[in-house]
Each structure stands twice: as structure tokens, then as C-alpha cells.
Amino acid sequence: MKKIQMVDLKGQYNDIKTTVNTSIQEVIENTAFINGPKVHEFQKHLESYLGVKHVIPCANGTDALQIAMMGLGLKPGDEVITADFTFAATVEVIALLQLTPVLVDVNEDDFNINIEAVKKAITPKTKAIVPVHLFGQCANMDAIMDIAKEHNLFVIEDNAQAIGANYQSKNGSQVKAGTIGDVGATSFFPSKNLGCYGDGGAIFTNNDELAHTIRGIVNHGMYERYHHDVVGVNSRLDSIQAAVLDAKLPKLDAYNAARQQAAKKYDEALKNTDAVVTPFRNEHEHVFHQYTLRIKSGNRDALVKHLNEKGIPCGVYYPIPLHKQKAYADARYNEADFTVTNKLVQEVISLPMHTELDDEQIAFITSTIINFLNE
């Protein structure tokens, strides 16, 4: 059996080596390392793949979130509601811009932001909601957009984990995750569903004016060379990363399908194990950035240790709720409002998930889990 990895980037590379190498070589030959033609080509291809008017590439997913918030003109003291159960980048940029993060509980089934909790958290100072499409499956965007409309709030989608996922709107239309709110932010970190070979990110929007504002912000606040109209940042997707991404984008649907196939096999093997809750599917496509189980028998940590001893990598995303992190704790939070995240952090375990998992590996992983839990 091939060595099991949490993410197998080497196996994936072997399959696309010629295309990727040629694409990178082109950049080196033409030396357009910054804002070269590859960046523009990838931008256009991603716009057409996502069906969104504007893609603005940037340096990483964290920047994408920050720049989205800067572009919307959010001001210190504005309250921004987001999920307690996500990667810290989401809340970090809110705090960094001196906006006030308001963390709320998530759903026990799909792990996404809880709509009732969002409603309860709205105050006259609330200016935006940041749903995170956690582990590859969309939050309830119909409900979030309704709330936003009613209270005149911006919606910024953290789409770092769900690129390519289809969202089935209640009005019948199907759109891509990240293109529903005012603005979407994604990451091309190597292990993401569309990953480059370093850091990368992008911002999506259908709003022409916002796209224009953001294009200036990523480039030192310049709309005309050496005229700095607003305070900006330096956040660029470098051309070599764009070359990798442009070579991989045509494969994204196949990559997501490979993840879904692996997820199905995991489900099948684990469905009769009482202590395990396999990932819930809401009505939107799940592209399995992570395949995350809940272990109901109280021995999640012992299982992690056991799997590691058997050479099976796994992850706990996330072990501590954000509202309990030193940097984001706030006296206004009430533990009773976080019953779900407080429970999930003790139950979740993410199994190896990537495009190269084979049947033998999945069988070994699942039988090791079942044997341990049935001991």
C-alpha cells in the first residue's frame, strides 16, 4: 500500500507534470513575474468557470478576506458576525481592521453558521455577515441573503474551502459558492481544493464599482500610477502561481469529483459504526475539502493517537472554538450560546482527503477506525 498522506500533492503533480512545468517555464522565459499575462489569463478563466463578473487575484486567502472588508468600507467599531467554528483567518482580519467580531454558534449537522444565532446577534452596529462554507459545503445563503437584505448588511463569503461547489438556490438557480454575497474570498493554499505551489488567493464579485475599488486596494490604493487615492496594501498573485493555477483549473471539477468518490467510499464503510456520525449533506453540493466525522463515544483523542500510531494521518479541525481563543475572547460572550461548537471541538476528526486516495488506503483507514471503536 502507498503511504497514506493527509494531502497527496506529489501524486497529483505527477499526473499534470508536463502541463504545469510548461506553464511555469513560460513565465520564467518571459520574466513577467509580477502581473504577467498568466495572471490575467487565469483571472479570465476563473471568472468564466465561476460565472462571476470579476475575479481579483491576490496574495492569499487571508488577504482576500481583509481586502474584501476594506473594499466595502467597513469602519472601526462596525460589528461583523461570523462563525465560531472556522479557521482563525476569518475572525483575524475582522479584528485587524478594528471591526468588532461577533462570533456565533454553528449547526450540529453541516457545521455551518446557524441562522437563528445570526438573527439573535444583530444589533444597530451590525454591518456585515461572513458565512464560511466549511469543509466544502455551502452555508444557508438564501437565509443569510434574506437577513442581509432586511437589515441592510453586507455579505462576505469565506469560500476558502468550497471552490467549485454548486449552490442550489431556493429560486431554482444554481450558482457557484462564493458568488452569492456582495463579495467572496478564496485561498489557493496548496492543500485547498484548487491549490497552487505556494500562497495565493482571490476575491470575487459581480459588483463593478466594488471590483474597481478592490483592484486599487490590492495595488497600494492606486487607480492611476503613483496617485494613491485610498490606503491600500500590496497583495498580488505571482505569475508562477497563476501558471500553476491556470494549468489546474480545468481539472477542478474532476478533483472535486475524486474527493466526492472517496467520501462516498468512507461513508459506505463507516455507516454501520454506531459511534460514528458520517458527514451530513445539506441540499448543496459538498466538495469535501475535509471529510469530517463526529465520534460520539467520547474517545476522539484516543482514536487520533491510535490512527497516528498505525501510520494514518488525521486532523482535528478545529480543536478550540474561536470564542475561547485568547485573541478573540470577549466578556460579552455567553457559554450557553456556544453549545454546538463547544461539543464539536471534542467530537470532530478529519480523515485523509485528497484526489489520489485509493481503495486499499480507504479500506485500511476505515477498518482501523472500526476495529478501534468496536474494541
Ligand X SMILES: *Cc1c(COP(=O)(O)O)cnc(C)c1O
Q: Applying CB under 6 A, which residues contact ligand X?
A: 60-62, 86-87, 89-90, 132, 158, 160-161, 187, 189, 199, 201
Does residue 288 contact residue 263 with C-beta atoms inside 8 Å?
A: yes
**Could you tell me the sign of the dihedral formed by the alpha carbons of 87, 88, 94, 99, in that order?**
positive
Cell digits of residue 81:
458576525
Whole-number Å distance between alpha carbons of 170 and 146 = 12
Distance in Å, CB of 357 to ligand X, minimum: 20
Does residue 354 contact residue 12 with C-beta atoms inside 8 Å?
A: yes
Distance in Å, CB of 5 to ligand X, minimum: 18
Catalytic positions: 192
Does residue 367 contact residue 312 with C-beta atoms inside 8 Å?
A: no
Nearer to ligand X, 87 or 338 (CB): 87
Cell digits of residue 174:
444554481
Report the residue closest to ligand X, judged by CB.
Answer: 61
DSSP state of 4: P
Distance in Å, CB of 274 to ligand X, minimum: 31
Residue 7: C-alpha distances to residues 198, 267, 276 (Å): 15, 19, 22
Distance in Å, CB of 110 to ligand X, minimum: 14
Does residue 240 contact residue 33 with C-beta atoms inside 8 Å?
A: yes
Distance in Å, CB of 87 to ligand X, minimum: 4
Nearer to ligand X, 97 or 222 (CB): 97
Parallel, antiparallel, or unpaired for β 166-168 and 174-176? antiparallel
Contacts of 291 (CB under 8 A, 6+ apart): 135, 259, 262, 263, 266, 279, 350, 351, 353
Whole-number Å distance between alpha carbons of 241 and 197 = 6
Cell digits of residue 104:
456565533
Nearer to ligand X, 132 or 148 (CB): 132
Distance in Å, CB of 216 to ligand X, minimum: 21
Whole-number Å distance between alpha carbons of 54 and 189 = 21
Helical spans, DSSP H, in the chain: 9-30, 37-50, 61-71, 89-96, 115-121, 141-151, 208-217, 239-248, 252-270, 300-309, 339-347, 359-373
Helical spans, DSSP H, in 298-338: 300-309
Distance in Å, CB of 48 to ligand X, minimum: 23
Whole-number Å distance between alpha carbons of 261 and 361 = 13
Distance in Å, CB of 233 to ligand X, minimum: 13
Nearer to ligand X, 256 or 273 (CB): 256
Say whether 114 sits in a helix, a strand or coil: coil
137: β partners: 286
